[in-house]
Amino acid sequence: MTKLRHIFAELRFELTRVIAEGGMGIVYEGEQHGAGDFSKRVAVKLIREEYSKIEEFRNNFIGEARLVADLIHTNIVQTYHLGEISGQYFMTMEYVDGITLEDFIERHKLTSQAIPADIAAFIVSRVCRGLAYAHKKCDKSGRPLGIVHRDVNPRNIMIAREGDVKLTDFGIAKALDLMYNKEGEVIAGKDEYLSPEQALRQVTDSRADLFSCAIILAELLLSENIFEASDEIATRKNILELAIPDFNEMNNNIDPRLDDILQLGFKRDRNKRFQSADQMLTALEVFLYGEGYGPTNEKLANYVIDLYSEDGRNAARRWATGATPGLGAHTET
């Protein structure tokens, strides 16, 4: 680490702490310095030295950087730069001061409270908004890139301190001319958030990401992933065969309109599912705002602050009564 800090210091980067660590790479919080005391907080994603020497992993990392370079959207973590030092590749990215959706879910479990339904729908709607942009992205000649994220799960969704919801980690995404994990040979994605197409090793399109969004919405509403089993084989079997429940019967606090959205999102035949992220986004926003003023980034930010406060165990109750600190009374839908 000391050697790494020294090398990055020569590039005017200061690595301050490890944010996340995986088998093939590490993400650091850092400061990028420039002239005139310029300083910018960034995230630095570094591929491990041993994997940098393997052409397949190196190409995947470079491919991810190329893919996300022009994805500039408020609901997607932005990538600034791809670099290489002493044979190791790194990306500098937007630093998100906040928590992962996985943390958000675990905090509710720890404090024994349910996530408010409109908060859940709002978060997933913002993910759909980012996906809609990515799915429709074209290259400079106007040719659709055909981007599919393929790994939409709570660990890859961030909630910033300001309430922005951001999708990150396109490391196993696919696109026209950029295909890192060959479909039909391997299963790309986290097992309990796969679409049926992924579980069957079929060629995917953007609709695969929408099945994952439905899984996340159901998990936010139920505090559990309905497909997750004791092992990956059983989990995939559930994704392919488990009877999709009536969510309102499972929890009578779930609005029937949300159940309708989930039923459509969970269609195993992708031709019967939402056909675009825009369609799913519209359905969620009609639920959220069809009868009045609903959640916003600022409201989500205040809710997260309340959730992590000393009296966070009562955050959901305060939200339901319109008494979340920092907010005036709000209209429930």
For residue 19, give the 3-state DSSP assignment: strand
Per-residue pLDDT of the chain (333 residues; tens, 9 = 90+): 565 666 666 567 788 889 888 767 888 898 888 888 888 899 998 888 787 888 877 887 888 888 888 899 999 999 998 888 877 888 899 999 999 999 999 999 999 999 999 999 999 999 999 999 999 999 888 989 899 999 999 999 999 999 999 999 887 777 766 655 566 656 667 899 999 999 999 989 999 999 999 999 999 999 999 999 999 999 999 999 999 999 999 998 899 999 999 999 999 999 999 999 999 999 999 999 998 888 999 999 999 999 999 999 999 999 999 989 877 544 444
Query: Of 70, 97, 118, 151, which is the active-site residue?
Result: 151
**CA dihedral sign, ordered 131, 135, 136, 138:** positive
Q: What is the pLDDT of residue 26?
A: 87
Global confidence as pTM: 0.90
Q: What is the pLDDT of residue 35?
A: 85
- As a CATH number, domain 98-289 is 1.10.510.10
Q: Which two tokens stand for residue 185?
A: 């040979």
Question: Which of 17, 181, 30, 177 lies closest to 95, judged by CA?
Answer: 30
Question: Domain limits of the chain?
Answer: 2-94, 98-289
Return the residue matching tokens 């022009």: 70
The two structure tokens encoding residue 112? 């024994």
Residue 280: what pLDDT? 98
What CATH superfamily classification does 2-94 receive?
Answer: Phosphorylase Kinase; domain 1 (3.30.200.20)
Identify any residues that bridge with 45 across adjacent strands, giving them in sequence order: 27, 91
pLDDT at 167 (0 to 100): 97
Per-residue DSSP letters for 79-137? EEEEEEETTEEEEEEE---EEEHHHHHHHHHHTT-PPPHHHHHHHHHHHHHHHHHHHH-
What stretch of H or E contains 63? Answer: helix 55-68
Q: Facing residues of 26 across strands?
A: 21, 46
Active site residue 306: no
Residue 272 buriedness (CB in 10 A; 0-12 / 13-18 / 19+): exposed
The pair of three-digit structure tokens given for residue 247, joined into one six-digit string: 């969510």
Radius of gyration of the chain, Cα coordinates, nearest whole angstrom = 20
The C-alpha atoms of residue 239 and residue 194 are separated, in whole angstroms, by 7
Q: What is the structure's pLDDT at 177?
A: 61
- Centre a 10 Å sphere on the Cβ of residue 85 and count the other Cβ atoms it contains: 15
| Pair 259, 283: CB distance under 8 Å | no
Distance of CA 32 to the CA centre of its chain: 25
Is 2-94's fold the same as 98-289's? Answer: no
Pick from 236, 232, 229: which is nearest to 211 by CA? Answer: 236
CA distance 270 to 205: 9
Q: What is the pLDDT of residue 187?
A: 64
